[in-house]
Structure 1
């Protein structure tokens, strides 16, 4: 993967072409987990789901539910701020042929394990990201299977919500529609609000 990044820097010197880190405030209640940076998306801009088609629907949906201050993400310096939300990927670097292999997912899983600890509500985008998240939480895959809209209340206190990935392919084939993604983030919004209400109540009682 290091050699791939070097090749990309030579071909596209303006690209970020490095590990893409989590985007959003460290104390956010919601963590959105995608798959990996795309060549002309996060690998180019350095921000998850930014620069290619996949992020268009995602950021518009996040904005509709109050998780960011604008409906579009163009890249660092655009003034976009996530609100009580962070975004990351199961794989931190651009994978060869845009297809992560098990070794890459496994290597990056320790970073994901640290990221999920900080959040209360987790939204996984796609089956690979979902399985990586279940592994990062130390849970059995058989007990937390992927399916669009599948929701799990975990012993750790997390709420885990699965969605099909917002890729162009899934949208063109109608596997995922804007309404379907909107419903997932409506659930996430309700779960985050419940967490914040509980926290406020506890603070007031003390």
Structure 2
């Protein structure tokens, strides 16, 4: 495959995936971005001392979760020694520790930890993905890499279209990538596009007359945000809980009881 062919790989191969399992397999073999390919494989060879005995995944990391998910969580990209090591989104690093603990508290994961692909973790009604599937140097993909990878996200969202009712987007980079992908996947994004902000909530109408989609902005679960207290467990629980309720995965909170009038 030539460099030119590699660069167009997502755009050529994503639309033909008929199921999420097929899409995930195609994603895991992508070599479209030379800088990311070189970095993920170099990290897999040199490793981190704490993980010297690991056989790193060192490939693109596909999405994770059931094919009939009602809620999607969109991050940024796999971590070099997290998803790039374990082969599963948000697995094996502190950001994942924070996210999966919150999903478990809300009732969307069967356990609060994620350490490796065969650790028994299962998600309930939630699919986790990212706009860039390879670990980038310094955790910073370029806009060009984001755009090259976008067809994978577009197809993933299109395949989730029958059941997807809500999306939580973690961080500004994910927001900038997710809105065009959602538009391409069948939801009308207003112009100008809504700006990212923690707590932003928008409703996108389906272009095919189907169910609308609720989109929630949330600070990313990066250590910079969680260590400084910008994003706390309680704040993340609130966002995930509201999104799960919008997706029909949780019942709405019970209305407070009205006290009976005195006397009479």
Provide the TM-score with structure 1 as the length reference.
0.89
Gaps of 5+ in 1: 198-206
Give distance in 1, aligned partners of 2:120 and 2:237.
Answer: 24
Q: CA deviation at 1:115?
A: 1.9
- Residue 195 of structure 2 is matched in structure 1 by 145
Q: CA deviation at 1:194?
A: 7.1
Task: Calculate the aligned-residue CA RMSD, in Å.
Answer: 1.9
Give distance in 2, aligned partners of 1:141 and 1:90.
Answer: 21
Q: CA deviation at 1:6?
A: 3.0
1:120 equivalent in alignment to 2:165: yes
Give distance in 2, aligned partners of 1:112 and 1:103.
Answer: 15
Select the structure of larger CA radius of gyration: 2
Q: CA deviation at 1:56?
A: 1.1
* Aligned 8 A contact 1:37 1:43 in 2: yes
Give distance in 1, aligned partners of 2:217 and 2:38.
Answer: 33
- Residue 202 of structure 1 is matched in structure 2 by none
Which structure is richer in relative contact order (CA contacts within 8 A, separation 6 or more)?
1
* Aligned 8 A contact 1:30 1:188 in 2: yes
Q: Secondary structure at the match of 1:15?
A: coil
Q: Secondary structure at the match of 2:247?
A: helix
Superposed counterparts of 1:25-174, under 5 Å: 25-117=66-158, 118=160, 119-138=164-183, 139-140=189-190, 142-156=192-206, 157-174=212-229
- Residue 9 of structure 1 is matched in structure 2 by 44
Give distance in 2, aligned partners of 1:107 and 1:183.
Answer: 33
Q: CA deviation at 1:2?
A: 2.1
Number of residue pairs matched? 197
Provide the TM-score with structure 2 as the length reference.
0.70
* Aligned 8 A contact 1:134 1:140 in 2: no
Give distance in 2, aligned partners of 1:9 and 1:172.
Answer: 27
Farther off after superposition, 63-72 or 139-148: 139-148
Q: CA deviation at 1:40?
A: 1.0
Please list the CA deviations of residues 138-160 of structure 1 after superposition, one character each: whole Å capped at 9, or x if unmatched. Answer: 23563321111111110121110
Farther off after superposition, 115-124 or 158-167: 115-124
Q: 1:6 to 1:167 in 2, by over 3 A?
A: closer
Q: 1:112 to 1:150 in 2, by over 3 A?
A: same
Gaps of 5+ in 2: 1-35, 48-53, 184-188, 207-211, 253-264
